[in-house]
Amino acid sequence: MVECRTDESFVQIVYAKVTANGKTELVPMKLYIDRDGTHLDRELPTPPATSGGKRLLANRYELQQVLGQGGFGKTYLTFDRHRFNEPCVVKEFLPQGRGDYESQKSRELFEREAKILHQIDRPQIPKFFAFFEENQQLFLVQEYIKGQTYATLLRERQQAGDTFSEREIIKWLQDLLPVLGYLHDRQIVHRDISLDNIMLQTDSNLPMLIDFGIGRSDLIQRQNQSEPAAPQSIVGKVGYAPYEQIWLGQSFPSSDLYSLAVTAVVMLTGIDPQTLNSQASVKDQWRSKASVSTELGQILDRMLATAPANRYQSAAAVLADLEQFAKATLNCPITKVSAPPTIIHTATKQQPEIIDHCLIETNLTATFITKCTQELTNYIGPIATILVNKTLTKYPNLTPAELIDLLTQQIPQPLTANEFSQRCRS
């Protein structure tokens, strides 16, 4: 990927690593132009009563202005004369590849985007309207989205000396994960999730997932198959795309989850993913550059695992952990205790025969609750915080020993459970 910045515009070229006839080369596949990111957020031009000399496609779509231009061609703001001059977006296929192979590959990706969009009916994905050929040129028509990309929104934050907060990222993930789940359930992997391809829609104030030019709509490759899958097209943005996608040409639902986590990290830190990835993996680099809770950090780290099998395997699994954590954080004050709670012991449960002196106390302290939560997290993951909070809510008058006993029951393996109990008592 090559970037070029000026005072007036931002240009980003995305390359695909292509192997043909024993030769590997980088082929320019996309080019993004963002002039201050405002081209989709200003007032629309007034629809003319007649064509007024403007280019008219299919005797219906009246091209108004260029929104972007790249390796595939041009994107136009357009008025649909058959729908009372409703605004829409027309993509014109004009490949800039020098050879037949590059041109054919670009055409395949362009047609693939149309086929994928035709399958999708989801509010947070632009609607597909039409795909047609005129004068030996291909055109794709889709919904016009008024808003700004998150790349633009982040730059605006950074200019003010700020980035996105943890609370904003949690809400952002909760809004986008169901969209990815919808796609993955339909055997579609986006493969190009980044700040440039997610927009905040002005009207709904929801993130919109855009640009399916390199998506896959055939059967998703399985991570547990006995033999390695044959490499497919090697595409994606350097820094955002995981190793298996950008170097091996393999893509899974967890590949999209990796890219989504990278995007979240960039929004939290304001640091380009290539910088985070320069010396080690993003997972090893980002935690020291962002202030987030342990629970959110663990969720993002699992999404960022290098091996696909070590990541969450579905958007629903991420959402389940995220929503449990968010619910506990937003609704339960026990998550962050600023002072030891005053709790009177009324339970009659028998104490353990052997007990450390510190557990003779009848009052729980914030320090002890935090210790138990951290130890349980080491054994069962981020859901530990939820279980601790639920336990304390259901049994508000527990002693330290009783809390350990109840939490120990959450670990199914006897040896591991005993180890957890001993560590909490030490």
The pLDDT tens digits of the residues spanning 138-154 come to: 898 989 999 999 999 99
Work out the percent of the chain whose per-residue pLDDT is above 70. Answer: 69
Q: 165: which DSSP letter?
A: -
Of the pLDDT bands very low, low, confident and very high (cuts 50, 70, 90), residue 213 is: low
Q: What is the pLDDT of residue 141?
A: 92
Distance (Å, rounded) from C-alpha 303 to C-alpha 253?
Answer: 11
Compute the average pLDDT of residues 164-191.
92
Compute the average pLDDT of residues 9-15.
45
Among 252-256, 302-306, 314-318, 328-332, name the one with the lowest average pLDDT.
328-332
Among 105-114, 222-231, 253-262, 415-424, name the one with the lowest average pLDDT.
222-231
Quickly tell me which residue has 């639902």 as its tokens. 253
| Helix/strand/coil percent split, the chain, to 5 | 40, 20, 40
Is 36 tagged catalytic?
no
pTM over the 0.95 mark: no
User: pLDDT digits over 245-291, tens only?
Assistant: 888 888 899 999 999 999 999 999 998 887 766 555 677 678 778 88
Compute the average pLDDT of residues 316-326.
90
Q: What is the mean pLDDT of the chain?
A: 75
Q: What is the pLDDT of residue 63?
A: 93
Compute the average pLDDT of residues 357-374.
69
Q: 287: which DSSP letter?
A: G
User: pLDDT digits over 63-106, tens only?
Assistant: 999 887 765 678 899 999 999 999 999 988 876 655 676 667 77
Quickly tell me which residue has 């008219």 as its tokens. 56
Q: What is the pLDDT of residue 114?
A: 77
- Secondary structure element (H or E) that encloses residue 268, with its range: helix 253-269
Which strand ranges, in their side-by-side order, compose the sheet holding 137-143? 56-57, 61-69, 73-80, 86-93, 137-143, 128-134
Compute the average pLDDT of residues 207-216.
70
Quickly tell me which residue has 């695909």 as its tokens. 16
Compute the average pLDDT of residues 184-207.
91
Compute the average pLDDT of residues 412-416.
74
CB 110 within 8 A of CB 140: yes
Compute the average pLDDT of residues 374-385.
79
Distance (Å, rounded) from C-alpha 74 to C-alpha 90?
Answer: 8
Among 37-46, 293-302, 356-365, name the one with the lowest average pLDDT.
37-46
Q: Is the pLDDT of residue 118 over 70?
A: yes
Compute the average pLDDT of residues 241-247.
86
Of the pLDDT bands very low, low, confident and very high (cuts 50, 70, 90), residue 329 is: low
Q: Name residue 102's amino acid.
A: E
CB 392 within 8 A of CB 360: no
Of the pLDDT bands very low, low, confident and very high (cuts 50, 70, 90), residue 354 is: very low
Neighbours of 307 (CB within 10 A): 11
DSSP output for 199-258:
EEETTT--EEE---TT-B-SPPPPTT-SSPPPP--B-S-TTTS-HHHHTT----HHHHHH
* Cβ neighbours for 198, distance < 8 A, ≥ 6 positions apart: 149, 150, 176, 207, 208, 209, 210, 263
Q: Which of 34, 80, 192, 256 is catalytic?
A: 192
Cα-to-chain-centroid distance, residue 275: 19
CB 129 within 8 A of CB 143: yes
> Rounded to 5 degrees, what are φ and ψ at 121?
-140, 85
**C-alpha dist (Å) from residue 167 to 126, 180, 402:** 26, 20, 33
Residue 300 three-state SS: helix
* Cβ neighbours for 83, distance < 8 A, ≥ 6 positions apart: none
Of the pLDDT bands very low, low, confident and very high (cuts 50, 70, 90), residue 44 is: low
Q: Tokens at residue 341, please?
A: 């709670």
> Which domains are delineated in the chain?
42-143 (3.30.200.20), 148-326 (1.10.510.10), 334-425 (no CATH)
Q: Is the pLDDT of residue 160 over 80?
A: yes
CB 272 within 8 A of CB 290: no
